Structure 1
Amino acid sequence: MGYLEKNHVRVKDPVKTEELLQRLISGGFPKLQIVADFDYTLTRVHDETGKRLHCSWGVLDNSPLMPEFYRPESKVLLDKYYPVEISPHLTEQEKIPQMVDWYKQVQELLARSRITSISVRQMVEESNTQLRQDCVVGFENETIHMFNKNENVIHSSPYFKNMSGRNNVILLGDSLGDIKMAHGVPDPGAILKIGFLNDKGSLLPQVEERLSSYEEAFDVVLIDDQTMDAPMAIVKLML
């Protein structure tokens, strides 16, 4: 597959990846579902000029429509909990309770902010957030955070019933925790994991320091790729 031979694409095990691709193609669309993270996976990290783009939380943090107390209180929570999220010294089970606390406190902060659906729409329209080309999204049902991203959280939803029989998966994510998003797929078939290794500035170690761990976790690693060209190329193989 030509796209996977580009300079910014890393495939640690070409034989395994080719086998997964052939199984996806053989199963076709009736057997396929796509499971994707949102921030900096479906959305872009920077634009063509290199300008940094907002994630979902960045839309709120940078909007003048939010009350004055929101940004400093949100930053206190970020400074407290984000080091926990990315700590290599804590287990996932040690992190989960603190991540739940973080989300609950942010939700309480949002409730005090008295924002409306109209104001959120305006914030998004005025932000610099950009979806990658060919992305469509929606939100409903249970809250999914960074450590419960798996299909067990949607087992009771109509969506899950509609996915019955679709046991081949193309998984898209930008963090190591995202590789678990397909856990819970009944009778899993071919699961192709595509990782977006983004340059996140000073928030995380640089790309070179994280490449090895991403190659271990994902079948295909896309280095600072702000497009959906790779997933779309794979889907087109199935036409």
Structure 2
Amino acid sequence: MKFIEEIKRRFGAAVYIRDEQVVDTKICQLVEGGVEKLQIISDFDRTISTSVHNNEPTKSSFCVFESCSSLTEDYKQKARELYNKFLPIEDDPNMTVAEKLPYIEDWWRQSERLLKNMRFRYEDIELAVKQADVKLREGSAEVFQKLYKHNVPVIVLSAGIGDVVELTLIHENLLTANVSVVSNFLDIADADDGSTVIKGFKGSKLIHVFNKNEHAYLESHSNDTKLSGRLNVILMGDSLGDANMDGGIAYDTVLRIGFLNSDVETKDDPYLLQYERAFDIVLVQDQTMGAFDYLLEEIINNR
């Protein structure tokens, strides 16, 4: 149990583990497998990026996109109305995923309809990314550098705007050859006046917070060379839907790390209990990559 003890020693009250024996066994399997068997599947918004900075909530990739100056105020207002309507449903601890699913699917469909035939300047996204200055979790640059150095594949699986996610990673010099982004990318066309028209999102199916598993599965099979033999997974996310991003594939080991970005008053907190059932390790209000970095170092050093 040395790994569990070390994690608890380093991160103290922020760490919740429902079954320490199971988690310790998984970590031992990851360490024994080494970096050659490892791959990373991670959400982006409030997982690689922080949930708060200077006591202010950070912007999601959708929020960054909506700050583009060439988008109409009517679009921005309607997008905010959808957010205010559906986010409480997504976060409701008293609803099951099955109960939430039709609402979340409706949210994404309505979001795409709002975008269709919208004219804007694509370069505004690059400017919006720079101006938003989305903060990544402390230690993100270091762990991405280690993953690149050891050629560990990273699938960033996001239900947000893929263009924003990619440009943010580029802005932070983290979109290296081992990193793939699977997300909702804008389907655009050039208009006669030099502007860009949004046709919707690329692909036949939108990625939302509760169907990421299907897309993780498709991505893993379209990159057989990169992921061949990578049967050990560290999965990271901040929502309950993220816990299933491995897509039910028969990996040898999947260690699930959940970032719970809200206050927990007691061990019986309903949100915490849901996260403990979904994730192996739950980190409460931890804005760092510290726990992941510790595990990665143990795996790298077992050579």
Q: What is the TM-score normalised by the length of structure 1?
A: 0.84
**Aligned residues between the structures:** 231
Q: Kindly indicate whether the alpha-carbon contact (under 8 Å) linking 2:68 and 2:125 is maintained by their aligned counterparts in 1.
A: no
More off after superposition, 5-14 vs 15-24: 5-14
The SS at the match of 2:282 is strand
CA distance, structure 2, for counterparts of residue 91 and residue 196 of structure 1? 19
Q: Kindly indicate whether the alpha-carbon contact (under 8 Å) linking 1:4 and 1:11 is maintained by their aligned counterparts in 2.
A: no
- Paired residue for 1:52, among 37, 51, 57? 57
The SS at the match of 1:120 is helix
The SS at the match of 2:257 is strand
CA distance, structure 2, for counterparts of residue 99 and residue 105 of structure 1? 10
Q: CA 1:174–1:114 in 2, change beyond 3 Å: closer, same or farther? A: same
Q: Say yes or no: does 1:147 pair with 2:151.
A: no
Q: Say yes or no: does 1:11 pair with 2:17.
A: yes
The SS at the match of 1:171 is strand
Letter in 2 for 1:149: K
- Paired residue for 1:214, among 243, 267, 275? 275
1:62 positional shift: 4.1
CA distance, structure 2, for counterparts of residue 109 and residue 213 of structure 1? 33
4+ residue runs over 6 A deviation: none
Q: Kindly indicate whether the alpha-carbon contact (under 8 Å) linking 1:4 and 1:230 is maintained by their aligned counterparts in 2.
A: no
Q: CA 1:238–1:89 in 2, change beyond 3 Å: closer, same or farther? A: closer
CA distance, structure 1, for counterparts of residue 63 and residue 274 of structure 2? 27
Greater strand content: 2
1:162 positional shift: 3.1
Deviation sequence 1:137-187 (CA, Å, 0-9, x none): 5535754211111155542653255323222111101111211111232x2
1:36 counterpart residue number:
42
- Report % sequence identity: 34
CA distance, structure 1, for counterparts of residue 85 and residue 57 of structure 2? 23
CA distance, structure 2, for counterparts of residue 43 and residue 72 of structure 1? 25
1:108 counterpart residue number:
113
1:196 counterpart residue number:
259
Structure 2: tracts of 5 or more residues without a match: 145-173, 184-202
Q: Say yes or no: does 1:176 pair with 2:240.
A: yes
CA distance, structure 2, for counterparts of residue 160 and residue 97 of structure 1? 33
CA distance, structure 2, for counterparts of residue 72 and residue 92 of structure 1? 28
Letter in 1 for 2:43: D
2:148 counterpart residue number:
none
1:36 positional shift: 0.8
1:225 counterpart residue number:
286
Pairing 1:49-128 to 2, within 5 Å after superposition: 49-88=54-93, 90-128=95-133
Letter in 2 for 1:107: E
1:82 positional shift: 2.6
1:21 positional shift: 0.6
Q: What is the TM-score normalised by the length of structure 2?
A: 0.68
1:232 positional shift: 1.3
Q: Say yes or no: does 1:20 pair with 2:26.
A: yes
More off after superposition, 212-221 vs 154-163: 154-163
What's the C-alpha RMSD, in Å, of the aligned pairs? 2.5
Q: CA 1:164–1:152 in 2, change beyond 3 Å: closer, same or farther? A: farther
Letter in 2 for 1:86: D
2:166 counterpart residue number:
none
